[in-house]
């Protein structure tokens, strides 16, 4: 039988030692983001919020918050690493990040966690769209398919 909540060492590492997080309330308030995105709903059990700083069309800094299970937290943490490593990812490339890209960096996730807990890429697209809007580059904004309700919550 499949193990419903087996987490790899990488997932546990990102869960217990999350990367790129705000240390204090003051840090959140003082953070000058170029774009902010938030997706999910507390009723569904997953909310992800992402803050990005952009320079020369690259993501040079990324902070995040997640309400959700361990895999949701670990996957957002991993995403923040992916977009900021190697001097920052180009925005066009960042828009193309898929859940599978995050999961493969984490090693493995329980299958049932895949659809509901990996929402970080959507929060990222929302943050990039926010940046495009603020910098009058509306043409570059992308549209996301509406999310499928996987959590069984009727809203």
Partner 1 sequence: MLAMKEVYLDNAAATFVDPRVKAVMDRFWLKDYGNPGSFHSMGLRALRAMNSARSAVANVLNCSSDEVVFTGCGTESVNLAIKGVFAANKSKGRHIITTRVEHPAVLEACRYLEKYESAKVTYLPVNKFGQVSASNLENAIRPDTILISVMYANNEIGTINHISELSKVAKKHNILFHTDACQAGLLDIDVKKLGVDLFSMNGSKVYAPKGVGLLFIRKSVSIVPLIHGGGQEFGLRSGTENVAFIVGFSKALQLMQSERKKESARVSRLRDKLVNGILNLIPKVILNGHPKERLAGNVNVSFLDIEGEALLLYLNEKGICASSGSACTSKRLAPSHVITALGLPYEVAHGSIRFTLGRRTTSADVDRVLKVLPGAVEALRRLSPVHIKEEDLYG
CA distance 66 to 72: 7
Residues pairing with 54 in the sheet: 59
Q: Please report whether residue 45 would count as binding partner 1 according to CB under 8 A.
A: yes
- Tell me, yes or no, if 151 is annotated catalytic: no
Q: Residue 34 in contact with residue 131, Cβ under 8 Å?
A: yes
Q: Which stretch binds partner 1 (CB under 8 A): 79-87, 91-99, 109-117, 135-143?
A: 109-117
Decide whether 20 or 137 has the Cβ nearer to partner 1. 20
Q: Which of 42, 93, 134, 135 binds partner 1 (CB under 8 A)?
A: 42
Q: Please report whether residue 5 would count as binding partner 1 according to CB under 8 A.
A: yes
Q: Please report whether residue 100 would count as binding partner 1 according to CB under 8 A.
A: no
Beta-carbon-side half-sphere exposure of residue 94 (alpha carbons within 13 Å): 33
Q: Which of 113, 121, 122, 125 binds partner 1 (CB under 8 A)?
A: 113
| Site size toward partner 1, by CB under 8 A | 34
CA distance 16 to 25: 20
Decide whether 44 or 124 has the Cβ nearer to partner 1. 44
Q: Please report whether residue 31 would count as binding partner 1 according to CB under 8 A.
A: no
Residues pairing with 136 in the sheet: none
CA distance 14 to 79: 10
């Amino acid at each position: 039988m499949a193990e419903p909540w087996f987490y790899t060492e990488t997932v546990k590492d990102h869960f217990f030692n999350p990367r790129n997080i705000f240390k204090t309330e003051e840090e959140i308030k003082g953070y000058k983001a170029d774009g902010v995105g938030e997706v999910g709903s507390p009723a569904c059990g997953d909310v992800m919020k992402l803050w990005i700083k952009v320079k020369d069309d690259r993501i040079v800094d990324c902070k995040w918050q997640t309400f959700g299970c361990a895999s949701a937290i670990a996957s957002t943490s991993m995403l923040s690493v992916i977009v900021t490593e190697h001097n920052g990812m180009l925005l066009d490339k960042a828009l193309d990040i898929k859940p599978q890209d995050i999961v493969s960096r984490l090693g493995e996730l329980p299958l049932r966690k895949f659809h509901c807990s990996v929402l970080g890429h959507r929060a990222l697209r929302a943050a990039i769209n926010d940046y495009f809007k603020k910098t009058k580059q509306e043409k570059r904004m992308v549209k996301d398919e509406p999310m499928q309700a996987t959590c069984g919550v009727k809203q």
